[in-house]
Structure formats: C-alpha cells, structure tokens
Amino acid sequence: MNINLSNFNMKSLVKEAGSTISRVVQLTEEKLGTTERTEYDIHFQNLAERADVTKSWTEKIVRDTESVLIPNPQNRVEDYIFEKIEKTKPKRLSNLEHLALDMIEAGGDFGQDLPYGQALIKVGQAEQKLGQCEHDFIATSGICFTQPLRKFLEGEMKTISKERGLLETKRLDLDACKNRVKKARSMLGQQSAERDLRVAQAEFDRQAEITKLLLDGISTSQASHLRHLHAFVQTQVRYYKQCGDVMDQLQRELANLGGPTPYTPIDLLDATKSSAAGGMGVGARNPGNNSQQKANQSMQLNVSTDQMQRARVLCSYDAKDHTELNLSANEVIFVTECSPVNEDYMYGKQGLMKGLVPRAFVEMLDEEQKDDY
C-alpha cells in the first residue's frame, strides 16, 4: 500500500476523528433522551412521511411492472446494464415467438395439405403476431410508465434524500451549539457560543425551507405519475385489443379449414345468431351444415336453470361428438330451445355438463310429474 506522506495531515485526521466521535456521542444521547433535540414541525414531518411512502411504493410498482413485462430476471438485469452503458438492448425472441417457429416448422413437416399441418401453420403465424404485439407492448410500457417512474426515483427522490441528509446535519450542528451555550462558563465563551448558535440556526432554517420546497413538489410529481399511469392503461387496452383481433382472425381461419373435426369458434355467439337468422331454416335440413350448426348452438353456456324446463330421458343415448350429452334412460335433465330453434336438437344441462340433446330422446315434464321427480 502506497501512502503519500507529503499530503498526510495528522491534525486534520485527528480533528475529523474527534468530530465523528462527538457526533456519535450526540446521537447516542439523543436516543437515550439525555440531551436536547430540535424537532421538525408537524407539517414538515407529514411531508417527509409522504415522501418516504411515495419512494417505497414507487420502487415496488416499478419492480412489479418490470417483472410483468419481462418475467425472466436475467433478461431484466441484462437490459438494465445495457441501458446504463447506453447501448442497444439485445433483440431476443419471446416464448411466443419460439412456439410460433416450432409450430410453423412442424406444420411443414407434417404436411401443409393435411388438416393438422395446416392448423399448426395458421396457429404459428398467429403466435408470431402475438409475439410482435408483446414486443410493442413492452417497449411502449417502458417508455410511457416504468422509465418516467425510475427517472423520478433516480432524480428527484435522490435530490430530496440528499437535502434531507444535509438538513439532519444542520440540525445536529444546531443542537451542538445549543449545548455549548448551556455549558459556557465565561462571558466570552457565552458570547462566542451564542454567535455560533445564531449562525447554525440561520443555516438550519435555510436548509429546512429548501427541503420543504422539494417535499412539496412531490404532489406535482404524483400528478405526472397519474398521467403516466393513464398512458400505461391505454397501452394495455391497445395490446389486449390487438391480441383479441389476432385470435378472432385465427378462429375464423381455423373454422374455414373444415376437416373431419372442424374448429368451433367461441365468444362469437352474437355473430352466429345474426348470420343464422336468415338461413337456419335451410341449414337445419342440410346435412353438410349440420355439424357446424350443432357446434354453434352448443355455445349457449350462459342459460341458467331458472330459464330451462325439466325433461325425462326416454332411452339411453351415446353422444356422437363433443357438442352432445350422453344420456341415461329415465334420468331427468334441464332443457331449453336452441337459438335459433333446431328441429332435431334442444340445448340441455346435465349437472355441470352442458350440450345438445336429441329432441326425440326426451319427454317434457308437466308440473305434476315434476313433483314426482
């Protein structure tokens, strides 16, 4: 270890050590309540407490938001380092994009002319779009929400913490001067101590005003944070809307593929009703449209039992596909008409199971028969 003896000042070192020891003794006496302590006014204490709460919760919100946007902690650390050294963040594929590439490749190997291969490729392409939407969402959320909050923590809150630290030092100096005034024994020592006290009081008051102004500014910062929060919500709304549009398009494409087991779209009941209103009378008798018609009508999942009637199963029935219910002879189930009405099927509820039941296999129960069951 090299020591530059020419710049070594023993008196300065002893003075600093003595000052540190005196400060430690002063803080210990304050803890024990054996010495006078200048208290901050109530308004200042409330401002300081609000600043501490704001800092704590903002840090948690930033951490939690970043965890949602980038779940992998290693990737978060890597992005943080690249941001600090002011270099472009590495471009990495998301899990959705990895899944998309594998699905598209698998669909090509299985055969683009086969139903499964076609479906894999369609789903893979949709997952690629979702992955791009996710990239855009993460980037926009960082710009409009997490980065401004982090800038607030690293800028304004650090300045406030620094000024509060200076204020605490001024307070300790002020209390030390008050103690010296009390302990002064000579007239000359009394006058010198009182002069130091006036200087310390003025410096303390000036620093207190500076710190109070910074603490008052947190209200303005929170108003800015509210705007950033609104922008984050709008970004989320756009993101989920884009994802919903991608999935709706995917459902239509899968339904159009047809095949031995056609895809049944969900959450499209209103569109199904409007499209079926004009052509259901013909479609009910068209064998080519029968499976799609049954699939659409099996989507009546929001019908409660209060709106349904009881019916007895005349004989056992094995469901032909996933849209129908298996029935046992003499069991009682709830049924209602399909929307639009189907000549061959009714919508049924069997415990927690819901689906279509052949109209010819059930017998509606009147009020007297209901009491018997």
Comparison of pLDDT for 277 and 94, the residue scoring more: 94
Interatomic CA distance for residues 25 and 209, integer angstroms = 28
Q: Tell me: do 21 and 109 sit in the same domain.
A: yes
Domain contains 298: no
Tell me the pLDDT band of 268, cut-offs 50, 70 and 90: very low
Question: The sheet that has 309-313: what strands, in order across it?
Answer: 353-358, 345-350, 332-336, 309-313, 362-364
Given a cut of 50, is residue 136 above it in pLDDT?
yes
Same domain? For 215 and 330 the reply is no
For residue 296, being part of any structural domain is answered with: no
Domain that holds residue 355: 309-364
Write out pLDDT tens, residues 192-227. 889 999 999 999 999 999 999 999 999 899 999 999
Output the CA–CA distances (angstroms, integers) from residue 303 to 300, 309, 337, 355, in the order listed: 6, 12, 11, 11
Burial of 166 (0-12, 13-18, 19+ CB in 10 A): middle
Considering the domain architecture, whether residues 357 and 225 belong to the same structural domain is answered as: no
CA distance 124 to 130: 10
Find the CATH number of the domain harbouring 161. 1.20.1270.60
Is the same domain home to 230 and 321? no
Q: How far, in Å, CA of 194 to CA of 331, rounded?
A: 100
Do residue 43 and residue 143 come from a single domain?
yes
Helix pair 290-297, 269-283: axis angle to 10 deg: 140
pLDDT at 108: 92
- 80 has pLDDT over 80: no
338, two tokens: 């399909």
**Distance between CA atoms of 319 and 301, rounded to whole angstroms?**
18
Q: What is the pLDDT of residues 329-366, one digit of tens each?
A: 889 999 999 888 888 899 998 877 888 999 999 999 86
Query: Is the same domain home to 184 and 83?
Result: yes
> Residue 10 — very low, low, confident or very high, per pLDDT cuts 50/70/90?
low
- For 54, 224, 225, 226, the CA distances from 219, given in Å and listed in that order, are 10, 9, 10, 11
Is the pTM here over 0.85, yes or no? no
Asked if residue 286 is part of any domain, the answer here is no
- Residue 159 pLDDT greater than 70, yes or no: yes
Closest CA to 315 of 362, 259, 352: 362
Tokens of 35: 């010495």
Mean per-residue pLDDT of the chain = 81
> Is the CB of residue 160 less than 8 Å from the CB of residue 207?
no
3-state DSSP of 271-313: HHHHHHHHHHHHHCCCHHHHHHHHHHHCCCCCCCHHHCEEEEE
Number of domains in the chain: 2
List the CATH number of the domain containing 341. 2.30.30.40
Q: Is the model's pLDDT at 31 over the cut of 90?
A: no
Between 369 and 333, residue with greater pLDDT: 333
Which comes out higher in pLDDT, residue 75 or 65? Answer: 65
- Say what the pLDDT of residue 145 is: 95
pLDDT at 50 over 90: yes
Predicted confidence at residue 207, as pLDDT, reads: 95
One domain, residues 253 and 325: no
Torsion of CA 275, 277, 278, 281, to 10 degrees: 120
| Tens of pLDDT, residues 143-156 | 999 999 999 999 99
Region 304-327: what's the mean pLDDT?
A: 85
pLDDT score recorded for residue 175: 87
Span of 8-12, 61-65, 83-87, 113-117 with lowest mean pLDDT: 8-12
What does the alpha-carbon distance between residue 223 and residue 216 come to, in Å, rounded to a whole number?
Answer: 12
Q: Is the pLDDT of residue 78 over 70?
A: yes
Q: Could you tell me what percent of the chain has a pLDDT over 70?
A: 77
Whether 159 and 72 map to the same domain: the answer is yes
pLDDT band at 311 (very low <50, low <70, confident <90, very high): very high
Q: What is the pLDDT of residue 293?
A: 57
Helical residues (DSSP H) of the chain, grouped into ranges? 10-32, 42-69, 73-84, 95-110, 115-141, 147-152, 158-183, 187-216, 218-257, 269-283, 290-297, 367-372
Give per-residue pLDDT as tens, 82-132. 777 767 777 788 889 999 999 999 999 998 889 899 999 999 999 999 999
Query: What are the tens digits of pLDDT across the range 283-299?
Result: 444 444 555 555 555 54
Look at the chain and count its residues: 373
pLDDT for 253 beyond 60: yes
Q: Are 244 and 326 found together in one domain?
A: no
Residues 147 and 241 in one domain: yes
